[in-house]
Amino acid sequence: MSKEIAGYRQQLGEILQQIEGESPSIQKGAAIITDAIMADRTVHVIGPGGHSNIGVEEVLWRAGGLAVWNAILDPGTNLIHGAKRSNFIERTPGYAKSVLDAYGVGKQPGEVMVIINAYGLNAMTIDTVEECKRRGVTTIGVTSSSFATLVPAGHKARHPSNKNLFEEVDIFIDNHLPPGDAVVAIEGFGEKVGSTSTFCNCFVMNCLVIEAVKLLIARGVTPPVFMSANMPGGDEHNKAMEEKYAGIIKHL
């Protein structure tokens, strides 16, 4: 293994260890998600922009994952429809409202929204958290404070309000994204490579799942957890949960 790959692994490990220090916030988020599950309230999750959608896909119909997530996967910001297109749309003020309307966000009291955005400053991200506030939806933000504080007011990547997601959500879980995202320096090349944001986001999301499952068990509730459909008995195990949540989860 090259020294660069070894260094990449080491730096990823250090970032994940930093996220472990977010345990109090993760516990608070897991408790809110658990309360919503027990009250049959919808738990939404959105990644408003580009690669943040991967954090949403990570928990949708996932082996070992909760069955309850209403994953909001907007075609406008999904990279499969064009990377630059995604970038333009995530910077469009007002766009998020129609997306939340289309997914029925805020129709019931007690709903929860997990907002995954590594940088936490684009127009769609900030409009999402502000719109959730107006609708009475509790928000959990998986994002970075270190990166957001580096981007100056008025930068074209920012929402016109210059707000930061980590300051607007009800519960903030720092994903400890390093400034610039990439962390590996290659001799003779000026730009770093080896991105970290998807690892950060997906690790936090799985931590939330783990802690929510523990809480459900402690409260005497059987957690609604999918098993791999590729394993013997997987389809049979998943069928009841798929039927229960089909009317809630738009992409099931």
Per-residue pLDDT of the chain (252 residues; tens, 9 = 90+): 899 999 999 999 999 999 999 999 999 999 999 999 999 999 999 999 999 999 999 999 999 999 999 999 999 999 999 999 999 999 999 999 999 999 999 999 999 999 999 999 999 999 999 999 999 999 999 999 988 888 888 989 899 899 999 999 999 999 999 988 999 999 999 999 999 999 999 999 999 999 999 999 999 999 999 999 999 999 999 999 999 999 899 999
How far is C-alpha 6 from the geometric centre of its chain's CA atoms? Answer: 27
**pLDDT score for 236:** 96
* Tokens matching residue 50: 């580009």
Question: Residues 66-91, buried b or exposed e (16+ Cβ, 10 A)?
Answer: bbbbbbbbbebbbeeeeeeebeebbb
**pLDDT score for 172:** 98
**Contact between residue 144 and residue 177 where contact means Cβ atoms under 8 Å apart:** yes
**Contact between residue 228 and residue 47 where contact means Cβ atoms under 8 Å apart:** no
Distance CA 247, CA 189 (A): 51
**Contact between residue 114 and residue 208 where contact means Cβ atoms under 8 Å apart:** yes
**pLDDT score for 58:** 98
For residue 51, the SS3 value is: coil
**pLDDT score for 147:** 80
| pTM across the whole model | 0.96
Domains annotated for the chain, with CATH where assigned, are: 3-245 (3.40.50.10490)
